[in-house]
Structure 1
Amino acid sequence: MIVITQKQYKEILDHSMQAVPDEACGLLGGIIENDIKYVKKVYLLTNTDHSPEHFSMDPKEQFAAVKDMRSNGWFMLGNFHSHPASPSRPSEEDKRLAFDPEASYFIISLMDDRNIVLKSFNISKSEVGEEKLIIEGE
């Protein structure tokens, strides 16, 4: 299970909407208590591919995010990216590039702007399981 705040959800949504028609991306830093992941900070990164179908995170921004996580005593809990025109489920490329079975992979679908969908997944050897995601008040 992973927990984010409404504010963090809005950060992910706003970043993703601003990137349209391209995919947006970022990292999730936080803590783990009693097997529950708590996101403490969302790191909004640049998709250097500038593509609506895939993303690559800016390496300098990734390094700065990981450095900030370490300085706060947090872990990298996972990442997020948007699907501007497809459902909130891992694509074949998403599965192929998922190297950490412990990570949470957030995908936010913007294909229906009246029904934005954010889901979290665990991916291991192309096996996909939806992770319980809780969005708490502020």
Structure 2
Amino acid sequence: MVVDASFVIHIPSNLYQEMVEHVRAGYPDETCGALGSVDERVVKNYPTANVAEHPDDFSIISESDMVRIYNDIDTYDGDLIYYHSHPITEAYPSARDIEYARRSGYLYIIFSHRHHPDDPYARVFKIDPQGSVTEGEIAID
């Protein structure tokens, strides 16, 4: 179930373009990374390698990359937003995405390559501890 949009994430156009290029470069596998944000405004992009055992079906950021990203985000008292791509399916949280997000509390930006070779498109979601999904809006500034 998707609850009505109740939040907006603002992403500078240059950082959004970096994300799109990172996601496109990883196709046909899932690509992942993180964003640092302050007051729902993205201030930094952290593209990472996907270290999942089956990168065509799932994405995981390495523990060392997560520590590096957390430490950097702490320097500006920001929040982490997780992003990844779905090579074939809709930009919507899978059951596995929901399970991980329920525990992490991160916002999730999901890109979809459903219309490949066109650029992937993205949607943003909050997933609460009970697994309810709320879609937000991405504003490219």
TM-score, scaled relative to structure 2: 0.85
Q: CA deviation at 1:56?
A: 1.2
Matched, 1:131 2:99: no
What SS does the corresponding residue of 2:17 show, helix, strand or coil? helix
Q: CA deviation at 1:115?
A: 5.7
Counterpart of 1:23? 30
State the Cα RMSD in Å.
1.4
Q: CA deviation at 1:46?
A: 1.3
Q: CA deviation at 1:74?
A: 3.3
Q: Which amino acid aligns with 2:35?
A: L
Higher strand proportion (structure 1 or 2):
1
Q: CA deviation at 1:116?
A: 2.6
TM-score, scaled relative to structure 1: 0.87
**Which one of 82, 86, 89 corresponds to residue 89 of structure 2?**
86
Q: Deviations over 1:68-116 (max 9, x none)?
A: 1122x13123110001111100001100111244x32100001213363
**Which one of 108, 112, 116 corresponds to residue 115 of structure 2?**
112
Alpha-carbon contact 2:73-2:80 (below 8 Å) kept:
no
Q: CA deviation at 1:130?
A: 0.5
Counterpart of 2:73? 69
Q: Which amino acid aligns with 2:62?
A: D
Alpha-carbon contact 2:35-2:42 (below 8 Å) kept:
yes
Alpha-carbon contact 1:27-1:78 (below 8 Å) kept:
yes
Percent of paired sites with the same residue: 27
Q: Which runs of 5+ in 2 are unaligned?
A: 1-7
Alpha-carbon contact 1:2-1:132 (below 8 Å) kept:
yes
The aligned length equals: 130
Structure number with the bigger relative contact order (C-alpha 8 A, sep ≥ 6) is 2
Where does structure 1 differ by over 3 angstroms across 4 or more consecutive aligned residues?
Answer: none
Counterpart of 2:100? 97
Q: Deviations over 1:38-67 (max 9, x none)?
A: 000011111101511111111111111111
Q: Which runs of 5+ in 1 are unaligned?
A: none
